[in-house]
Amino acid sequence: MKGEMELIEKLLQTEINIFRSIRDGSAYMQHMEDFYYITLLELSLLCKNYLL
């Protein structure tokens, strides 16, 4: 029972943190950073393959 309560508490804190990051905009910024990084990697691979 104690382990279950700790797990529930951790899940609840995770949900609260997700909602906070959505509300303050940091989730959107992280998404845009990830998108930019992935796009940059894809373009670099495309250029590398094109030049070979």
Distance (Å, rounded) from C-alpha 38 to C-alpha 29?
14
Owner of token pair 């950073």? 33
Low-confidence ranges of the chain (pLDDT < 50): none
Angle at 26 between CA 24 and CA 38, to 5 degrees: 155
Distance from C-alpha of 28 to C-alpha of 35, rounded to nearest angstrom: 10
- What is the predicted pLDDT for the residue at 28? 85
Q: How many CA atoms lie within 13 A of 18 on its CB side?
A: 6
pTM of the predicted model as reported, rounded to 2 decimal places: 0.53
Q: What is the pLDDT of residue 52?
A: 67
What local confidence, expressed as pLDDT, does residue 2 receive?
A: 79
pLDDT of residue 10: 92
Alpha helices (H) in 1-52, listed in sequence order: 2-24, 26-51
